[in-house]
């Protein structure tokens, strides 16, 4: 039932997925250099994720959490959604120092993408276990990551609302959050705790992505009608920008 609801809310996303299932993913995408594409486009995001260890081609059957699977059309296929909602911030980044928070960083492929995309931003990674990122940091750097911008990383538990609020307050201080991504443990409880911990810091113009849960939209949107909500399959987006 939740999947049917999801299909009706994001028909274009599922049409694209169906097209790719029938005709295959456009493999030409992976044969070109990312410089061929405009920064922040869906293709650029997918190729940048691949560059930093993301999954490129189909065929991985393991259910183990490997990260690096958000942009590629072979996996979650959120690239088009990110490209659409990040567009206004890419031009703003030239003149403003934005703040971006990613919750759930694993090996850091996301942080590497965000640092290339927003070289002037304050890029913050939150995770209950930042050691995976620290262990992988060298190989990201060898692939060219963090030459334009360097992220900061903090311990953050999405299942402990008091601590999550404290860390947000201590780390963010007077900073306002322009862009936030929740790619952590994906339970509704963790999603709500994280949203409530970061929400007081929203900038006047913000976008907030929650990955990998079909129910986020139904759960959070009715509680926060002050924002504009969109869902595309398993990803939900809140913003105060008009479309």
Q: Calculate the alpha carbon distances from 22 to 26, 34, 128, 234 in Å.
A: 12, 26, 39, 21
Please check whether residue 93 is in contact with residue 119, taking contact to mean a CB–CB distance below 8 angstroms. yes
When asked if residue 68 is in the footprint of ligand SAM (CB under 6 A), the reply is yes
What dihedral angle (degrees, nearest 10) is formed by the CA atoms of 219, 221, 223, 224? 150
CB of 58 to ligand SAM, least distance (A): 18
Please check whether residue 118 is in contact with residue 100, taking contact to mean a CB–CB distance below 8 angstroms. yes
Binding positions for ligand SAM, 111-150, rule CB under 6 A: 127-129, 132
CB of 116 to ligand SAM, least distance (A): 13
How far apart CA 118 and CA 77 sit, in angstroms, is 21
Choose, by CB under 6 A, the member of 157, 178, 182, 234 that binds ligand SAM.
Answer: 157
CB of 24 or CB of 129, closer to ligand SAM: 129
Please check whether residue 190 is in contact with residue 157, taking contact to mean a CB–CB distance below 8 angstroms. no
Residue nearest to ligand SAM (CB): 67
Choose, by CB under 6 A, the member of 2, 15, 58, 65 that binds ligand SAM.
Answer: 65
240 C-beta neighbours (distance < 10 Å), count: 14
CB of 149 to ligand SAM, least distance (A): 16
Greatest Cα pair distance, the chain, in angstroms, is 49
CB of 164 to ligand SAM, least distance (A): 8
176 C-beta neighbours (distance < 10 Å), count: 14
CB of 90 or CB of 159, closer to ligand SAM: 159
How many residues sit close enough to ligand SAM to count as binding (CB under 6 A)?
Answer: 21
- Binding-site ranges for ligand SAM (CB under 6 A): 65, 67-68, 104-107, 109-110, 127-129, 132, 156-159, 183-185, 190
């Amino acid at each position: 039932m939740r999947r049917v609801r999801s299909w009706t809310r994001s028909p274009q996303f599922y049409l694209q997925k169906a097209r790719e299932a029938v005709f295959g993913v456009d493999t030409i995408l992976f044969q070109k250099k990312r410089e061929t594409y405009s920064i922040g486009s869906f293709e650029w995001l997918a190729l940048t994720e691949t560059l930093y260890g993301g999954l490129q081609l189909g065929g991985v059957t393991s259910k183990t959490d490997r990260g690096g699977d958000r942009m590629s059309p072979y996996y979650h296929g959120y690239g088009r959604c990110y490209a659409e909602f990040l567009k206004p911030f890419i031009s703003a980044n030239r003149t403003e120092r934005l703040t971006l928070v990613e919750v759930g960083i694993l090996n850091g492929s996301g942080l590497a993408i965000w640092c290339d995309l927003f070289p002037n931003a304050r890029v913050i990674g939150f995770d209950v276990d930042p050691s995976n990122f620290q262990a992988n940091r060298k190989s990201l750097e060898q692939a060219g990551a963090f030459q334009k911008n360097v992220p900061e990383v903090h311990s953050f538990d999405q299942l402990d609302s008091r601590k999550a609020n404290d860390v947000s307050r201590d780390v963010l201080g007077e900073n306002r959050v322009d862009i936030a991504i929740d790619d952590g443990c994906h339970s509704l409880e963790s999603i709500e705790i994280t949203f409530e911990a970061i929400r007081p810091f929203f900038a006047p113009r913000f976008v907030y992505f929650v990955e990998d849960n079909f129910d986020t939209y139904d759960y959070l949107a009715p509680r926060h009608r002050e924002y504009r909500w969109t869902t595309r399959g398993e990803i939900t987006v809140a913003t105060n920008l008009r479309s």
